Amino acid sequence: MTTDHVIDEADRDALRAKYRAERAKRIRPEGNDQYIEPTGRFAHFLDDPYVTQTPREPINRDVNVAIVGAGFAGLTSGARLRQAGVEDIWLIDGAGDVGGAWYWNRYPGAMCDTAAMIYLPLLEETGYRPSMKYVPAAEIFAHAQRIATTFNLYENALFSTAVSGLTWDEDSERWHITTSRGDLLRARFVLAGTGPLHRPKLPGIEGLETFEGHCFHTSRWDYAYTGGSRSGEPMTLLADKRVGIVGTGATGVQCIPHIARAAGDLFVFQRTPSSIDVRNNAPIDPAWYDALPSGWQYDWLTNFATLQTGGFANQDYVMDGWTDISIRIRDRVVANLATEGLTPEAMRKAYEESDDEKMAEIRARVSAIVRDPATAEGLKPWYRQLCKRPCFHDEYLDAYNRDNVHLVDTDGRGVERVDATGVWVGDTHYPLDCLIFASGFEVGTEYARRAGFETIGRDGETLSDHWSKGMTSLHGLNVAGFPNFFLLGFAQAGNLFSNVTHNFVESGTTTAAIIRHALSTNATRVEVDPAAEEAWVALVETAPTSFLFDPECTPGYYNNEGQEMTTKTLRQTRGYPEGPVAFFSYIDRWRTSGDFTGLRFS
Ligand code: NDP
């Protein structure tokens, strides 16, 4: 356990020096390569523990639309296509059902800390009222199923089916899709909703494969081993077990209180503590909800996106930790305006000042909750809040007051070695029955690697080659040389990280408008004009580099693990220069104008 000397929170120079020293402990020269890919002898970490695959005959046929990925990106697009009257839509997903991240992540305590009113897409269209301000994963998964049912997307769904290749066939003007089940679908249009946090990664710890106890990644929770269920039944089979967990990001923070209650002993191997702010969950009042005016969700989405990006609104509808962060920064900029002006430097200073205040509060909260002073010191984050994904939880810190919970603070080094019986940190061996990896997902690696297949466009060019110098697109959605192909994401578009589903609903609406236009004009092909793509990329490159990439930030997936951001890495992180609200308004005008400038229909 390390205890740091007490920092005078008001002494900014000392604080900066402390931040730099903590960062230096964590920088790994190998960056993203420090993680182990779940392939080869680690491939079993991806096995689906939730369904048994039923054999079926391979499918060989023409289809109108294929959607790769049945998470919220694919589902919202499917819904918008149905609303536009498009038929013959096929969902393809490696999972056993719809839901994407919410199919896979069933770990105890899993929930979404973006408010359900804005995170759950198409609430008005499906007539659903969320139970709480922040809802558990099972409720989110059920909502994904509700969207699929409401919009008849189960009709042609291929589950437990991984796409293995996607190749444009110039003669038929169709995409040839091959799968792990031996299918060959020839699709007129393909939508790729493969998700931003889809592919689990494992910590690069020496000897990981030698562990002879039980071991799994949080996105493949093994309730057969732990007992209990995703709906909250206690994990009684852990009562006599020594459990270790590696990872204290958003996932670790949510599941640790639950494992703490169930396990004989829990050892939390911490490399970097998360910032844990107040969660303050509450039920949604049905009467209040039912009285909301028609169109309320669009207003809430716009309100949140406005406040999240430093804008002004009469009211903060969502009122959560995310808007609190942004409003603090914005108000500080306004307060400093008279003395500092509105320069990038003034904005940065305002951000730093409000962040210093917030992080002092976060560290004080640790001391107020965690009784053992050394443990409390170990749990204090020494970096700016937005260097890492901020967390919001009301039980996490208290879990460390239990006698059976042991914080093993590795002082930034991480676990050194795993052997057959446990884990080594420094000279100490921790014998374990079970080792759980809450080690996150690949971000920033090549698109084809994360998607699990290569996309080969017109002229035989792969998407990886096309993007060898970085992502290129029109609106983040269409790519020159890849006809009838739609990427459902947020990069080079709205880029609203804190409410990812808002981006998905928008890209779904745009995709449906384009495909509807193609079908109604009997066009068999939609292509991006390369000049339009070039101009769009040039435009997004004028966007200011996010302060998330601050070179003084502690490393993590927000900042390419602290490695230099190259043109290539920056391109997949950029959005519309004027921000998401302006982008959503721009793209709405673009898709409703009927001109579809930048696309060629033939
Ligand atoms: P993260 O990538 O955020 O965290 C991975 C954790 O593993 C970090 O604590 C990391 O430490 C640790 N780690 C990695 N390698 C080692 C090692 N060798 N030794 C010790 N520790 C190690 O993954 P999560 O699954 O927690 O979260 C991923 C994302 O998923 C979130 O950021 C969020 O966007 C999303 N999510 C959203 C939720 C929601 O409520 N909406 C809930 C859960 C997840 P270090 O920090 O030092 O790198």
Band of pLDDT at residue 335, cut at 50, 70 and 90: confident
Domain boundaries, the chain: 60-199+443-542+577-601
Query: How remote is the CA of residue 116 from the centroid of ligand 1, in Å?
Result: 22
- Both tokens of 199, joined, read 């592919």
Give dist(CA 592, CA 285) in Å, integer: 36
Cβ–Cβ under 8 Å, residues 278 and 466: no
Band of pLDDT at residue 3, cut at 50, 70 and 90: very low
Cβ neighbours of 557 (radius 10 Å): 18
Using only the alpha carbons of the chain, give its radius of gyration: 24
Cβ–Cβ under 8 Å, residues 559 and 550: yes
Confidence check: pLDDT of 406 > 50: yes
Cβ–Cβ under 8 Å, residues 393 and 253: yes
Contacts 24+ apart (CB under 8 A), 61-64: 61/185, 61/186, 62/174, 62/185, 62/186, 62/187, 62/188, 63/88, 63/90, 63/156, 63/185, 63/186, 63/187, 63/188, 64/88, 64/89, 64/187, 64/188, 64/189
246 lines ligand 1 (CB under 6 A): yes
Question: What number is the average pLDDT over the span 202-224?
Answer: 96
CA dihedral 521, 527, 531, 533 (to 10 degrees): 120
- For ligand 1, atom 10, the nearest C-alpha belongs to 247
400 lines ligand 1 (CB under 6 A): no
Least confident of 184-193, 373-382, 419-428, 545-554: 545-554
Q: Which overall architecture, per CATH, does domain 60-199+443-542+577-601 show?
A: 3-Layer(bba) Sandwich (3.50)
- Both tokens of 51, joined, read 């369904």
**Which residue would you say has higher pLDDT here, 376 or 32?**
376
Cβ neighbours of 180 (radius 10 Å): 14
Q: What pLDDT score does 132 carry?
A: 98
Task: Choose among 476, 472, 468: nearest CA to 492.
Answer: 476
Within 8 A by CB and 6+ apart from 417, the residues are 205, 206, 207, 423, 424
Predicted confidence (pLDDT) per residue in 138-173, tens digit: 999 999 999 999 999 999 999 999 999 999 999 999
Residue with tokens 């060898």: 468
562 lines ligand 1 (CB under 6 A): no
Predicted confidence (pLDDT) per residue in 280-310, tens digit: 999 999 999 999 999 999 999 999 999 998 8
Q: What pLDDT score does 336 carry?
A: 84
Band of pLDDT at residue 1, cut at 50, 70 and 90: very low
Furthest CA-CA distance within the chain: 71
Query: Mean pLDDT over all residues of the chain?
Result: 94
200 lines ligand 1 (CB under 6 A): no
Give dist(CA 497, CA 407) in Å, integer: 30
Instruction: Return the DSSP state at 184.
Output: E
**Runs of H (alpha helix) within 430-547:** 447-451, 463-466, 500-520, 530-540
DSSP 63-99: EEEEEE--SHHHHHHHHHHHHTT---EEEE-SSSSS-
Within 8 A by CB and 6+ apart from 545, the residues are 565, 570
Compute CA distances 178 → 166, 187, 264, 459, whole Å.
7, 11, 47, 19
Report the side by side order of strands in the sheet with 422-425: 417-418, 422-425, 428-431
Q: What pLDDT score does 2 carry?
A: 37
Band of pLDDT at residue 105, cut at 50, 70 and 90: very high
Classify 308 in phi/psi space as left (phi over 0), alpha (psi -120 to 50) or beta. Answer: alpha
460 class by beta-carbon count within 10 Å (0-12 exposed, 13-18 middle, 19+ buried): exposed
Band of pLDDT at residue 7, cut at 50, 70 and 90: low
pTM, to two decimals: 0.95
Half-sphere exposure of 165 (CA within 13 A, CB side): 11
3-class SS of residue 589: helix
E strands in 372-464: 391-392, 405-409, 417-418, 422-425, 428-431, 434-437, 454-456
Give dist(CA 414, CA 429) in Å, integer: 14
Ligand 1 atom index nearest CA of 414:
19
**Which residue would you say has higher pLDDT here, 572 or 103?**
103
Share of the chain above pLDDT 90, in %: 79
Give dist(CA 417, CA 340) in Å, integer: 50
DSSP 235-269: -GGGTT-EEEEE--SHHHHHHHHHHHHH-SEEEEE
Q: What pLDDT score does 5 carry?
A: 45
Confidence check: pLDDT of 462 > 60: yes
Ligand 1 atom index nearest CA of 561:
48
205 lines ligand 1 (CB under 6 A): yes
Confidence check: pLDDT of 4 > 70: no
Cβ–Cβ under 8 Å, residues 539 and 578: no
Ligand 1 atom index nearest CA of 251:
26
22 lines ligand 1 (CB under 6 A): no
Query: How remote is the CA of residue 68 from the centroid of ligand 1, in Å?
Result: 25
Q: What pLDDT score does 9 carry?
A: 67
Band of pLDDT at residue 57, cut at 50, 70 and 90: very high
Q: What pLDDT score does 349 carry?
A: 84
Confidence check: pLDDT of 68 > 50: yes
Within 8 A by CB and 6+ apart from 428, the residues are none
Within 8 A by CB and 6+ apart from 282, the residues are 132, 133
**Which residue would you say has higher pLDDT here, 135 or 388?**
135
